[in-house]
Amino acid sequence: MPAKRYGIGALSRDTGCNIETIRYYERIGLLPEPPRSAGGHRSYAVEGANRLSFIVRSRELGFSVPDIRELLTLVDSGITCEEVKTITLTHLDAIRARINDLRRLETVLQSAAADCEGGDAPECPIIDVLFGHSEAAPQVKAQIETQG
Partner DNA sequence: GATACAACCTGTGGCCACTACAGATTCAAG
Partner DNA sequence: CTTGAATCTGTAGTGGCCACAGGTTGTATC
Per-residue burial over 15-32, b if 16 or more Cβ lie within 10 Å, else e, is: bebeeebbeebbeeebbe
Cα distances (Å, whole numbers) of residue 116 to 34, 111, 121, 143: 58, 9, 9, 17
Q: Which is nearer to a copy of itself, 18 or 110 (CB)?
A: 110
Q: Which of 4, 10, 86, 114 contacts DNA by CB under 7 A?
A: 10
Q: Which of 9, 16, 29, 35 contacts a copy of itself by CB under 8 A?
A: 35
Q: Which is nearer to DNA, 36 or 103 (CB)?
A: 36
For the CB of residue 58, give the shortest distance to DNA in the complex, in Å: 9
The count of residues interacting with DNA (CB under 7 A) is 22
Say how far apart CA 72 and CA 59 lie, in whole Å. 13
Is residue 137 within 8 Å of residue 112, measured between CB atoms?
yes
Residue 119 contacts a copy of itself per CB under 8 A: yes
Residue 111 binding target from DNA, a copy of itself, none, CB below 5 to 8 Å by type: none
Is residue 132 within 8 Å of residue 144, measured between CB atoms?
yes
Residue 20 binding target from a copy of itself, DNA, none, CB below 5 to 8 Å by type: DNA
Residues whose CB falls within 8 Å of the CB of residue 23, separated by 6 or more in sequence, listed in order: 8
Say how far apart CA 134 and CA 114 lie, in whole Å. 15
Is residue 8 within 8 Å of residue 46, measured between CB atoms?
no
Nearest by Cα to 72 from 122, 28, 120: 28
User: Which chain residues interact with DNA by CB under 7 A?
Assistant: 7-10, 12, 18-21, 23-24, 36-42, 59, 64-66
Residues that bind a copy of itself (CB under 8 A): 3, 31-32, 34-35, 44-48, 50-51, 53-54, 57-58, 60-62, 71, 74-76, 78-82, 84-85, 88-89, 91-92, 95-96, 98-99, 102-103, 105-106, 108-110, 112-113, 116-124, 126-127, 129-132, 140-141, 143-148
